[in-house]
Every structure is written in C-alpha cells, then in structure tokens.
Structure 1
Amino acid sequence: MGPTRAQFIQFAPAALAVASAAVGPWSAVAAAAAGAGAWAINASAPALRSLIACGTTATGCGIAAHQLLASGMDPLFAFGLAVPAGAAALAHHRNTAGELPTLPATTAAAPAGQSSQAQLITAWWAEFISGPTQTEGRKLIQTGAVLAHLALDVGDDRLSFTGVITLPQGQQVRVKAADIAAVYQIPVSHVEMGDPKHYAPNALPVTVHLKKAATAPEIAAGAPTTPEQLWAAHVAVPDGAMPGTTLALTRYDGPLDWEGTASRDRKAIGTVNIGELAGNLNLSTIQIALAPTDKPSQMGVRVMKEHALMHGTMLSSVVDELSMDSRGYVRLGTYIDARPALVPLAQPGSGARHLYLVGGSRSGKSGVLEQILLSAHRSRIAVILSSPQAGTIAGAGLAAFCGDGLDEAMGALRLAYALMLDREARYRSPAFPFTDPLVLTVIDEAHMLLAASSQYHAEAKAIVEQMTRRSLKRGIGVVLATQTPLAEDLGNSSIIRSQLLIGGGAVFLRCARGQGSLVGVNAVEGAEGLDLSQIPPQWPGQYAKVADRDMSGLDTTAVAKPEDGTFGLGYLLTPGSQAVQFRSLYLDVPPASLAGNQQPVQVEDCEAWHHREAITRTRVVDQRGKNLVGSLADLLAKAQQGASALPQQRAQTDPASPAGPADGQELIKPRILELLREESIPMTAETIARKLGTTAKNVKPRLSELKKRDEITNENGLWRAA
C-alpha cells in the first residue's frame, strides 16, 4: 500500500528538506512536484501554504549546501543548512494537525477571532434566526436579533453557550425557546431564556445546552426504577399496554423526562391504548406522547415531566405564518416536538381542502375556528359561515356571509350548495387557477343541523354529503366542527366523515367523558385507540391547587396564561399520516384585531350570489329528504316560486298582518324598530316576538332584513336599535 493523503502532506516536506542538502538546486524541482501533487489530491489551504513554505526553505538550503560542497568547505557546514528545512517541516506538521473544520457554504461569515465552535454557533444563528442570509426562500425568525456577548462552556460531557439576544432600541425580542431548539436541533428543555419582565425589551439573555450531561439514575436494589426496568415490569408484560416489547432510551433527563423507542421482534405493535400505557407508567395521559415510525414493529415514546406545550405559542408572535404558503398550508399550532403544526386550506392547482374539527365545551374549538377565519381572511379566501348557535364565533365579521342562528345557519348552507352548483355550471371542466376566489364553508356545531333530532336533518345531510364529495375541485372547502366524534353527530353518515378526512385532515380536541373514544364505529384511520375524553381540562398539578383551596387563580386582575388550562391541546391528523399531539395557537389577542382594515373577501358576482336572499329561504329537498335539487336553474326556479308564494303565506299565518300581504310584511318592521328604540335595551328575538304578540318565526326574518339595512344590530343574539 502506498502512503495515505494525510501521510503524504505531513512527511513529504521533511523528505524534501533532507534531500535538499545533497541534491542542491534540483530540490526546487522536487518542491514543485510535491506542490503539484498536493494540489491534485485537493489538499486544504493550510496544508498548501505550509507545503509551499517548506519547499521554498528547502530549496534555499539546498542551493547554499551545494555551493559549500562545491567550494571544498567542510561538509558539516552543508549539513547544518538542513536545520531550517527541518524546522519548516515541523511547522507544516503542526499546521495540518490543528486544522479547523470548514463551515457550511450556506452559512454567513462569522466574526474573526472566534473558535471553530463559536463560529458554527454564530453562523447558524445568523443563517436561521437573525440574518442577513443568502439562502433563497428561507424565512428568518426575527431579522436583526443578533447574538451578542457569546461565551462557551465546554467539557467532556457538556457543551453550552450563553449570550444576549440584542435588537436596536425600540424593538422587542420575539425569538422563542422553541425557535432556538428547532435551529440547533435540541429539546426545548435545553434552552433557558431570561424573564422579559426583568430585562429591557431589546435585550434578553439566553443559555443553550447543545450537549447536556445525563444524570444516571440511582438503581435501588429489588424494585425496578429505570425506565427500561419499569417498561419490562409493567408495559411489556402480557397484560400491559404493549406486551412483548423492549425499550431503548435515546434521551434521558430524569425519571419523568426521557425519550426512547419501543420495539417488538418481527411483530407489529399495532394500536396502543394511551390510557393503559399511562396507567402502567403511573403518569397522566398528556405526559406521554407516541410517535409511530416507518416500521410497524417500532414506536417512539416520549415522557414529559412538564408538558412541552404547557406554555403555548402566542397567536400574535406567529401572525405572519397564518397566511397560506405556496403549498396551500397555514399554521394552526405547534407539535409536541416544537415544529409548526400545518394544515392545508387549499391545494394550488387543484382546488380547496376540507377540515374536520372535533372538540367539546371549553376545549378550544371556537378559538381554532376564529384562527381559521383569520387565516382565510389573510389568504384572501372568502368564507360562508354557518353558526346554528348564535353569537359563538367572535370572528364572524370576517365572513362574506354569516348565518347566525339555527334557521339562518341552514340558509348559509343552502347558499354554499347553490354556489357549488353555480360554479359547476360555469366551469364544466375545471381549469386552475380561475378568477373566482377560494371559498371556505365553515359549519360550527354541525350536529345541530345534521343530527337525526334536528328539523333540518335530511336537508343538511344531503347538502353536506354532496359538498364534501363535489366541492373541492370547484374551489370550495368545508370546515365542519362538532362536539364529539360520534357517528350520530354527523347524521350517521360515513360518507361525510370519510370525505372530510380524505379531502384535508382532522383536529381532535378534548371531549366529554365517554364521548371521545375513536374505536368501533367511530374509529378514524391514523388515530386508532385515541380517547379524547382522557385529555384533562387542567395541567398536572392544577388538581392539587383545587384540593388545597388555593385561591390565587381567582385574581380578577391577573391575565390568563396558556398554562391555566389545556385549551387547544389535542391531536392533528393530516392525510396519509398518524395523529400527532399538538396544541393550537394561544389567542393572546382577538383574531379580528389582526385582520387590519381590509374588508371581508367577497364571493364572486354570480347568479347564486345575486339571489342569495331567496336561496337561503328555499328548501333544496322535499319533506322526505329525497329528490335533492341538482342544478342551479332548478334551484333558482324553485326559489322564485317560493318568493312569489311567500307574501300570500305570510298574510294567512302572520297575526300582525291584517291589512294584506305586502302591507303585513312591512307593518311589523316599524313595530320592531319602535319597540327597540323605546325600550333602549337589547332583547332576544323571542322577547321581541312576545312583546309584539307574534311568533319568533315571524320576527326573525324581519330582524335579518333590518340588520342588513343597518337599522338594528345583533351582538351574541341580542338585538338593539342602531
């Protein structure tokens, strides 16, 4: 075997130095040949510089030694000239042995005088957090947030750095621990940031543990104590949650903070009951997160002493990520590993996307819907909002059309169906992009329309089934929200659920006890075995505060914090993946306040939109729920027939209309206005009807008409004069 590249670079100059004493001027030729060889094998820049210096020294010594020998002087003098050449060879060896690692080509230039580790830390900070960056398409976390006063703590089993995140005067630090953890690919728990209340807004100290010394647990004799021992004793046993598996740790920061991989020898692990696993390990369900791998025989396991999502991600800090990106995704929250949780609202070139949202009372479902409305508004997507429970969505003003209340919500659903028929008539063969805006049909509390007990059950079920099947390629998506994943909440329709999941994804939040199990007829592919009722309403430790009568949480002046409850904590399921634990963004500001002064995105100017008032009052199925109207022309004809028959029907049924059809329709409106102005207090539709001696069914349409004329207003179902 010949010499290696490293051996050639290190010892070739020494050989030249010795040879130069005898060869004389020919050593220049040898040095040139060595330099060419080093260049050919891609020697590094320090090696080339040392080699050239060594060759030059050897050449000069060789020439002098040759002249001394030729003049007949003592050969010892000639031999002494080899000493400088040897010194050059030793310097070359020292330079090549202490060579620094090369930084990636994409990183920004690091300040001079730093060690190689400090250079890498500074370069990655500039590349991904502060800038300036040369990488096209990369979005910085906060431009100008430089890392000042960098200091390293290096040991055999640890590596950490400290610094101060510094911005120009007048700006505020928005870099979060999760951002830094994502850049340096470390757990969020390895990032320690100062409390902003104790420092200037533009300067915040930070400590990052790139490598943290693991604390070996003390093993007591007899009882299992390490995670591997506990796993073998309680989880891997035949009656455990994952029988026949073994646990291999990948990270250990204490008995309640570790990660590992559970494996079963050549057998699929299958569905894991998270409740049983939590019981085996004596933990709460939200302290455990499972991460399925590509191998059916392996499953990632994470145990958390303090939940990684307990402190939440503020809506105002990531508002720029709410707008739809080039792939059609918007940010809905944060995954358990600190990565952004993205959901598709559209698929560029193919149409819109669906979303299935499940969440009980106080689970954060309304907050997710408000966030979706804001994302649609910022992405210039029109929204048709159907809200059977009046006044529950604070961002309703961002919708192009809002049906607030049970009857009005059904009308909004009819309008969305008519818009789909209109686009089908105008776009026989869909070609994207077309000029019409994308549309989201948001149905909140959908069970109030779809359940068998609803008066609109048959009609709503027929419309939603057709829209989930046919609307995507026409640029109309469906966002459907219910309180439970039970089949009856979707009208016992397997079509609606399957089409929602195929056409977009699902968000599962906490449900009432006994109503959140995703097994049996309620099973969802990718979320097998989940029981949403096992998500507690408070984080671990809050129960103790209640038991101890800790009254600190009753401070009316205190600002609510994300850790005050598990609002928005759940699972996100995207097409073709497994459900992953995540938390929606924490609404630290009202979403509508971030919409700016832009008006709501409007639906295109079309026949369905022109006749929207008549369409919202026209049933699209018969009394038996059959014979769904299948074309826009038939629907408009039916709407016109209903509009012509409406005055006569009102004259016969409205006790407040004795003077005739047209007069009766107009007489009740002045009475409503007069009542609201005289009382000067907000009233519900039922109260207004009782005071006028009529029914709420007769009052509600007039209230909607007066509201459109801006003569009255409605706040959370309470009407008052404008």
Structure 2
Amino acid sequence: MGPTREQFIQYAPAALAVVPLVAGPWSALAAAAAGACAWAVNTSAPHLRSLIACGLTTTGCGIAAGEVLASGMNPLIALGLAVPAGAAALAHHRNLTGHIPAAALTPATTTKGAGTGAGLTSQEQVIAAWWAEFISGPTQTEGRKLIQPGANLEHLGLQIDGDHVAFTGIITLPPGQQVKVREADIAAVYRVPVSQVELGDPKHYAPNALPVTVQLKVAAAQPQITAGAPTTPQELWAVYVGVPEGAMPGTTLTVTRYDGPLDWEGTATRDRRAIGTVNLQDLAGNLDLETIQIALAPGDKPSQMGIRVMREHALMHGTMLSSVLDELSMDARGYVRAGTYVDSRAALLPLAQPGSGARHLYLVGGSRSGKSGLLEQILLSAHKSRIAVILASPQAGTIAGASLAAYCGDGLDEAMGALRLAYALMLDREARYRSPAFPFTDPLVLFVIDEAHMLLSASSPYHLEAKAIVEQLTRRSLKRGIGVVLATQTPLAEDLGNSTVIRSQLLIGGGAVFLRCARGQGSLVGANAVEGAEGIDLSMIPSQWPGQYAKVSDRDMSGLATEVAAAPEDGTFGLGYLLTPGSQAVQFRSLHLDVPPVSLAGGGSPVRIEDCDAWRERDTIAQTPMVDKRGKNLIGSLADLLAAAEGAPSSQEAAHHHPGGLHVVAGSSRPSAPGAAAGASDGQELIKPRILELLREQSIPMTAETIARKLGTSAKNIKPRLSELKKRDEVTNENGLWRAA
C-alpha cells in the first residue's frame, strides 16, 4: 500500500530537504512534482501554502548546495545549507499539527505510557501539544489567538478503557491570576461536545488551579432491551417496572411461558417483602400496553404476584352458564361461582358467611356491560341455595329473573317500598334475635337493589330516606342474616348519595364487581379509589374485542335470520374485575346465560321469608315513609314502625311534640307496647328493661345523663337502676360510659 494523504503531506518536506544534496539543480523539478501531487490529493489551502514555502526554501538550498559542490568548494559549506532546509521542513510540520483530524487523538492501539514511536511520541504529548498551541502557548502561530496565555495543563493523565478515552489534568496559573478557560473553549480545541468537558467548580478550588476532565471518546451506549429475544419481558421489567419509580419497585420477573412479546406469563417476586397493591394503569404504562391486555393474579405468598400479558384475550369466548349450573349453589364456605378468572380458574363470590351471617356485594357496570346478566345469575344462585330475595328494581322490567324473588318492587315507587320492607325485616329480626345464634332458623335474605342511583342520588325524590335506610342496612343487617347487593352504573360518589359509609360498608362486608363504565366515569383513582383496585379505569374496558369491527363487516348479510343466538365473543359483556376482601382486583368474566334464569331454576316457588310482623304487614310498610318531612329522624324500632304503619301516634311522634324535644324509645316489639311504655316512663319496674333495650339497640356507650334524656326521665332514676344491672352483669361501666354486656 502507498502512503496515505496525511503521510504524504507530512513527510514530503523531509524528502525535499534531502533530495537537493543528491540531485542538485534537478531538485527544482522534485519540488514542482511535490506541489503538483499536493494539489492532486486535494490539499487544503493552509497546507498547500506551507508546502510551497517549504518547497521553495529547500529547493533554493539544494541548488546552492549543488553549485558549491560543482565548483569544488568545501563540502561543509554545502552541508551547512541543509540547516535552513531542515528548519523549513520543521516549520511545515508544526503548521500541520493544528489540523490533524480528531481521530488521531484516539488511536485504538494507544495505551498509557506507550513508548516513543514513529510520528507522534505518545498520546499525552499530542494532547499537551494541542493545549500549548491553542490555549496556553508559549508559541503562537501567526493569525491565531491563544485562549489564555500561561494557563498550562499540569498533571496530565490518560484513561483508556475499551472504547472510552479521557484525559484529566489541572489548569494552573501563577498566584494572583484566575483561570478563564471555559468548557466551550476546550471542546472547540479537542473537537468534542461541550457535555464531554467538565471543569472544577471555582468555589471549591483555588482560582488559579482548576481540575479538568475531557472525554475524548465515549463508548457507544449498548441497547438495554433486545427485541425479539426470549428474555425481553425480564429486561422490560428490570428497566421500567422494577425500578423505584416503576409500578412494582424492587421486584424481579420470572417468565413461566413465552409465546412472543404480547403473549407470556410470569411471576413477579419481591425479596422478603410484600408486593402490596399494584396500580394497574401504571403497570400498563410501564409495559406500553393497554390495561385490558394485562391480568394480575395474587400468589400464595404476599411477596409474589402472577402476571399475564395477552395478545388475544383468554376470556374472549366466555363460559356458558348452563355448563356450570351445578356450581351455582352456595358451598360450605358461602361462595358461589360468578364467572371465570383470566387464568381459567373459577371466580367465586361470597353470598353468606356461615356462622356469622350474610355478605354484601357492590356491583358497578354501565349499559351493555353485563350487569343485569350478573344480577340474574345471583338471583339464580340464591334460589338454588335456598336464600330468600327481596328485589328493588327502580327501572321496571329490566331483570329477567324477577320471578325468583320473594318480593319484587318493580318501578321507582315500588322499589322504595322494597327498601322499606328490607329495613323493617332487619328491625324485626333485631327485636326477635337479641343475641344472634347461627344458623338462623329463618332463611338468609338477599336484598338486591338494581340501578341504586335512581333511589340514592340527590335528584331522586326518595334521596334522604333511601340514603338513611341503606346506610343502616349496610351497617347492621349482616349479623341478622340480610345481605345487600347494590348495583350502580358508575363508581362515582354521586351514585351512592355522596355517602362514604355505604361504599365502605359494602366493601368491608363482602366483595365488589367492576364492569365497563362510560368514558370518563370509570376511574377508580382519586375520590373514587378502592383499596385493592388502584389504578383501574373501567372506561378502558372496550365494548368490543380488537378486530371485532372487521369481523362484523365481513359477515354474510345476504339472508335474514329470524333466530340468532349471540355468541359470547361478540362483545365484552361481563368482562371486568372481581374484588374480594383482603385481595387484589382480578380480571374475570361472568358466566354467559344462553337461556333465561327461570328456565335454569327448574321450577318451584321462590324461597319464602319467615312469617313475622314485618312480612305480614309488608304491603302497609312499603307505603309508610320512615323519615320525617325534613328527611331526618329515621324510625329506629319495629314498634315505632308498626305504629306509624297503622297510623297510631308512635313514641317517635310523641318525642317531636315533647316540650323538650326528647325521643322516647319503645319498650316492646309489639305495636301496643309504645303507649304502655310511654305511660309508665316513671315506673320503676319498667326502667331497667328500657335501659337494656336502649343500650343494645344503640350499640354505643352512653353516660347516665344521656340515657335519661333518651328515656325521658331524670338521671336520679337511671343511676340506681344502672348499678343494679351492673351487679347482675347485664351492663358494664368504663369511665362513666355504660354499655350492654
């Protein structure tokens, strides 16, 4: 191989300095040839000028040396003429130093402490030469201005690590002077980005001595994620999810099945610490997926969480109800099958808690989300489990299985009547079961409220009464064997009458099912946050599966079908999240009803409610408002309720007309008892039963004065009776607060 362009420009003057000593006058031709070659290789103007000047000098010296030798003069004179020729060659070499490409600074074979070789002696000498030439001096090329004369680079050190090359040093000046060299100046000299130059902060160093670090060559950043590799999920997890700002910080992923970047399963593990609740929306953002493509499955250990990423959803084809009909009956733990989890396991829903009462259920779902189908399935499960049902359906004619209910309030007014009946039944059982002993001889009761927002929202004419009744039911009905299933269209607080009590009691007392909601109304964050379902946005559940629009357009529409059964995969009906107490919301899909629930019930009459005062007077109770005109003072006992239903003045009404505005509590559960109890309020024998009834009914500790005010008598009549009850261990006293034992 011939010499490179740089080698030719650099070493041509040396040849011109030697040729005149041999070729004599013919060296002029050699100089001309060198200039022509420099022009041919496209040399820059400064290089060409330097080469011409060097060529003229060396050629003149060569001609003079040739003449001296030809005339027979002393050869030492001819040898002396080589000195100016060498000086010209050295000047040309120095002119070339400021124009060496940046690649020359970082040769791949250079190492710190390399010995002197051909051309440049070492990498450190090149760096120092550039510094002296452009920044500090003392030499200065004509037409070039030094950045700061005297700002020398001391303690130069070179660092080479693979593709990374950097040098460090200290910029020093005599005492009393200040370093004025800036990062941009150094970057311009060494032809690197300003971001690769770092100067010491003058606040922390002497003004005449600042450390400097220059990254001459930065190693190329290696990609952290390799597309298409089997370990892509682990790498994605480590980079975006397991980091401190990720959805599951401190976790690592173990992939158990991998069929592509959008179809894999794995287990997230956190070292000896619980993972806790996971924000599904944040996790989907970390993995650059839609929330519907990710399913979480809590593991047996709190430090583990199952993860599933799906290209085609595992629940697209659904599960027919008729194929799992035998699983709809309640098991020994009080659970029924509500659907199928995304991992193909049965999704179980609690309807009762054997040994302690019933369970609540909070159901959210917008139009065409599958909410009514799930309610029909719950009615069928209750029927097969011998659970009586009271149904309140403000929107008439929406529940196909309404005939399975023992009492159905169809329509707004009738639904409010069903709500009153459920409350009366709870009061009746409270009067009959002072100390509940399970199992009940009476059947469990499930009170189902569909479209509850029509009763509870502020725009409802029954807003105040319905809110007061539902709050009391969700608080007190479970231990009396009455569970509440409340269904609304959105998780917004407005749908529950802006009552935090109702939703908290529903979630504590049972489970929750979240189906698709209208856009902008399905977020479970902020004021609508639900523990265990953080980050879920129900409006992100699609109404149809991806590609469904194309599937519909490709169907054969040439004929008209009179009877067509909708396939489960035609929509996302019943797709949502199931939340049970103490767990994470898990993606599931309710069962698909291919036939009406009444047909699946197999005939038979609905499960009847026990024969009691509330049930016998159900029609009258359904028409009796339970609050006053201001929507306050909810009737608190069955005796008052039956008295109000019969139109007789109850103890509550008497309290409104009492001069002191005191509330008199009835002493018996029979309708005739209130008057007798009120008339004998001063009788000593009737005070103790009334005290016990008050303390058991209120379930809160009270002072003797408070008990006296509620019973409409004086404290001096109450205190001796409390002492007697305490001796019989029927009441307790803690710091002056009395409660039933």
TM score, norm. by length of structure 2: 0.54
Alpha-carbon distance change, 558 to 526 in structure 1, aligned in 2, over 3 angstroms: same
Alpha-carbon distance change, 333 to 553 in structure 1, aligned in 2, over 3 angstroms: farther
Q: 1:623 aligned to 608, 629, 633, which one?
A: 629
- Counterpart contact for 1:284–1:540, Cα < 8 Å: no
Q: How does 1:20-59 map to 2 (within 5 A)?
A: none
Q: 2:258 aligned to 241, 244, 252, which one?
A: 252
Q: Find out whether 1:344 has 2:344 as its counterpart.
A: no
Q: Find out whether 1:416 has 2:419 as its counterpart.
A: no
Q: 1:598 aligned to 599, 604, 613, which one?
A: 604
Q: 4+ residue runs of structure 1 moved beyond 6 angstroms?
A: 219-222, 265-268
* 1:550 aligned residue: 554
Q: 1:560 aligned to 548, 566, 577, which one?
A: 566
Q: 1:634 offset after TM fit, Å?
A: 0.7
SS at match of 2:576: strand
Q: Find out whether 1:306 has 2:340 as its counterpart.
A: no
Q: 1:373 aligned to 379, 384, 401, which one?
A: 379
* 1:452 aligned residue: 458
Distance (whole Å) between structure 2 residues aligned to residue 486 and residue 309 of structure 1:
27
Alpha-carbon distance change, 486 to 221 in structure 1, aligned in 2, over 3 angstroms: closer
Which amino acid in structure 1 is aligned with residue 547 of structure 2? G
Distance (whole Å) between structure 2 residues aligned to residue 573 and residue 611 of structure 1:
37
- Counterpart contact for 1:263–1:299, Cα < 8 Å: yes
Q: How does 1:476-515 map to 2 (within 5 A)?
A: 476-515=482-521
Q: 1:354 offset after TM fit, Å?
A: 0.9
* 2:729 aligned residue: none
Alpha-carbon distance change, 491 to 611 in structure 1, aligned in 2, over 3 angstroms: same
Q: 1:233 offset after TM fit, Å?
A: 5.2
Alpha-carbon distance change, 626 to 283 in structure 1, aligned in 2, over 3 angstroms: same
RMSD across aligned positions (CA): 2.7
Distance (whole Å) between structure 2 residues aligned to residue 487 and residue 321 of structure 1:
34
Alpha-carbon distance change, 296 to 598 in structure 1, aligned in 2, over 3 angstroms: closer
Which amino acid in structure 2 is aligned with residue 503 of structure 1? G
Alpha-carbon distance change, 273 to 550 in structure 1, aligned in 2, over 3 angstroms: farther
CA displacement 1:334-385 (0-9 Å, x = unmatched): 1112111111211122211111111111110000100011111111111110
Q: 1:426 aligned to 428, 432, 435, which one?
A: 432
SS at match of 1:600: coil
SS at match of 1:505: strand
* 1:385 aligned residue: 391
Alpha-carbon distance change, 423 to 442 in structure 1, aligned in 2, over 3 angstroms: same
- Counterpart contact for 2:358–2:478, Cα < 8 Å: yes
Q: Find out whether 1:325 has 2:331 as its counterpart.
A: yes
CA displacement 1:18-47 (0-9 Å, x = unmatched): xxxxxxxxxxxxxxxxxxxxxxxxxxxxxx
CA displacement 1:548-585 (0-9 Å, x = unmatched): x4345897454211111111111111122111111111
Q: 1:236 offset after TM fit, Å?
A: 5.2
Q: How does 1:130-529 map to 2 (within 5 A)?
A: 223=227, 225=229, 226-232=232-238, 235=241, 241-242=247-248, 245-263=251-269, 272-293=278-299, 298-529=304-535
SS at match of 1:389: coil
Distance (whole Å) between structure 2 residues aligned to residue 280 and residue 533 of structure 1:
20
SS at match of 1:332: strand
SS at match of 1:302: strand
Alpha-carbon distance change, 436 to 541 in structure 1, aligned in 2, over 3 angstroms: same
Which amino acid in structure 2 is aligned with residue 608 of structure 1? A
Which amino acid in structure 1 is aligned with residue 457 of structure 2? A
- Counterpart contact for 2:450–2:487, Cα < 8 Å: yes
Distance (whole Å) between structure 2 residues aligned to residue 395 and residue 611 of structure 1:
25
TM score, norm. by length of structure 1: 0.55
Alpha-carbon distance change, 233 to 545 in structure 1, aligned in 2, over 3 angstroms: farther
Q: 1:282 offset after TM fit, Å?
A: 4.4
- Counterpart contact for 1:572–1:579, Cα < 8 Å: yes
Distance (whole Å) between structure 1 residues aligned to residue 273 and residue 480 of structure 2:
44
Q: How does 1:593-672 map to 2 (within 5 A)?
A: 593-641=599-647
CA displacement 1:580-623 (0-9 Å, x = unmatched): 11111111111110112210111111111111111111100112
Q: 1:535 aligned to 541, 548, 560, which one?
A: 541
Distance (whole Å) between structure 1 residues aligned to residue 226 and residue 511 of structure 2:
48
Q: How does 1:18-97 map to 2 (within 5 A)?
A: none
- Counterpart contact for 2:225–2:235, Cα < 8 Å: no
Q: 1:248 offset after TM fit, Å?
A: 2.3
Q: Percent identity?
A: 81
* 2:670 aligned residue: none
Alpha-carbon distance change, 566 to 221 in structure 1, aligned in 2, over 3 angstroms: closer
Which amino acid in structure 2 is aligned with residue 513 of structure 1? R
Q: 1:511 offset after TM fit, Å?
A: 0.9
- Counterpart contact for 1:224–1:230, Cα < 8 Å: no
* 2:667 aligned residue: none
- Counterpart contact for 1:251–1:258, Cα < 8 Å: yes
CA displacement 1:442-501 (0-9 Å, x = unmatched): 000001111111111110011011111111111111110011111111111111111111
Which amino acid in structure 2 is aligned with residue 417 of structure 1? Y
Q: 1:229 offset after TM fit, Å?
A: 3.5
Distance (whole Å) between structure 2 residues aligned to residue 221 and residue 297 of structure 1:
26
CA displacement 1:131-163 (0-9 Å, x = unmatched): xxxxxxxxxxxxxxxxxxxxxxxxxxxxxxxxx
SS at match of 2:510: coil
SS at match of 2:647: helix
Distance (whole Å) between structure 2 residues aligned to residue 620 and residue 311 of structure 1:
47
Distance (whole Å) between structure 1 residues aligned to residue 408 and residue 285 of structure 2:
46
Moved more, 391-400 or 536-545: 536-545
Which amino acid in structure 2 is aligned with residue 550 of structure 1? D
Question: Any stretches of 5+ residues in structure 1 without a counterpart?
Answer: 1-218, 644-722
- Counterpart contact for 1:275–1:534, Cα < 8 Å: no
Distance (whole Å) between structure 1 residues aligned to residue 278 and residue 578 of structure 2:
17
Alpha-carbon distance change, 560 to 642 in structure 1, aligned in 2, over 3 angstroms: farther
Alpha-carbon distance change, 642 to 618 in structure 1, aligned in 2, over 3 angstroms: farther
Distance (whole Å) between structure 1 residues aligned to residue 525 and residue 226 of structure 2:
39
CA displacement 1:235-286 (0-9 Å, x = unmatched): 5567765566543212223333211133466777665443443354444322
Q: 1:306 offset after TM fit, Å?
A: 2.3
SS at match of 1:334: strand
Distance (whole Å) between structure 2 residues aligned to residue 509 and residue 456 of structure 1:
27
Matched residues, number: 424
Alpha-carbon distance change, 326 to 553 in structure 1, aligned in 2, over 3 angstroms: farther
- Please tell me whether Structure 1 or Structure 2 has the larger radius of gyration of its CA atoms: 2
Moved more, 230-239 or 595-604: 230-239
Distance (whole Å) between structure 2 residues aligned to residue 221 and residue 317 of structure 1:
45
Distance (whole Å) between structure 1 residues aligned to residue 513 and residue 332 of structure 2:
22
* 1:168 aligned residue: none
* 1:99 aligned residue: none
